[in-house]
Structure formats: C-alpha cells, structure tokens
C-alpha cells in the first residue's frame, strides 16, 4: 500500500527540516549526510512522488553549496542532474551549483547543453 499524499507531504517537510539542520551545522558529518542524500536510491526518496523527489534533491544540492563552493564529491550528482533532469527547479539548482564549483572545466559544456535541451518549455 502506497502512502497517502498527506504522508508524503509530511515526509517531505521533515526531510526539508533535516537538510536545513545539516546545512546549518556545516561539520564534516553533516556534509557526509548531505552527500548521502545525493544518491537517488536513498531511502528518503522511497514512495515519494516525482515532483517531491526533484524538490528534495534540489534542497540537498543547494544545501551543499550554500556555504561555499560545490564539493568535489557532489560534482557527479550535479552533472547527472544537468544531463537527465526535466524539472526546471532541479535544473536551475544544479546549474547554480555548477557555477559554484572551484573552476570551470571544458567537460561541463555537454551537461549544460543537455540541460538546455531538457529544460521545460525549450
């Protein structure tokens, strides 16, 4: 039996609070926890509707970059979102995070080109 919409919304709100708390903490354990949330197979996303998962993943990426540059460990997840996401919010967050990487790389051009094609309304 799948969870009700209210249950999904409650889980999403709880997740948002947890991500915000981890971002505020800023210690290495919190950063590792945020990086673990980058994996789309994480249990936090189980039984959540697609739009909720996109928001949740966006919050995680934003939290990782909030205090500084994009961590090297998160770069593959950001590039994957740019290459595959079709949600405007998630694409925007991934692009913002990529701009916060310590140095632009030539390899960023293909994921950005894919993101421009995947963006809704393009």
- Give me the percent of the chain exceeding a pLDDT of 90: 80
The model's confidence at residue 122, banded by pLDDT at 50, 70 and 90, is low
The model's confidence at residue 39, banded by pLDDT at 50, 70 and 90, is very high
The model's confidence at residue 1, banded by pLDDT at 50, 70 and 90, is low
> Sign of dihedral through CA atoms 99, 121, 6, 45?
negative
| 61: nearest Cα among 85, 32, 96, 27 | 96
The model's confidence at residue 3, banded by pLDDT at 50, 70 and 90, is confident
Burial group, residue 70, by CB count within 10 angstroms (0-12, 13-18, 19+): buried
Helix 50-65 to helix 5-25 angle (10° resolution) is 10
Segment 10-21, tens digit of pLDDT? 999 999 999 999
| Domain that residue 85 falls in | 5-118
The model's confidence at residue 4, banded by pLDDT at 50, 70 and 90, is confident
Segment 64-85, tens digit of pLDDT? 999 789 999 999 999 999 999 8
Number of domains forming the structure of the chain: 1
The model's confidence at residue 118, banded by pLDDT at 50, 70 and 90, is confident
């Amino acid at each position: 039996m799948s969870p009700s919409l209210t249950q999904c919304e409650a889980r999403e709100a709880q997740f948002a609070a947890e991500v915000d708390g981890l971002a505020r903490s800023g210690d290495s354990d919190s950063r590792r926890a945020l990086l673990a949330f980058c994996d789309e197979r994480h249990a936090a996303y189980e039984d959540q509707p697609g739009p909720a998962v996109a928001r949740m993943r966006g919050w995680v990426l934003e939290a990782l970059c909030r205090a500084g540059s994009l961590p090297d460990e998160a770069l593959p997840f950001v590039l994957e979102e740019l290459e595959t996401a079709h949600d405007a919010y998630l694409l925007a967050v991934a692009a913002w995070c990529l701009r916060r990487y310590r140095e632009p790389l030539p390899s960023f051009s293909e994921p950005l080109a894919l993101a421009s094609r995947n963006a809704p309304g393009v």
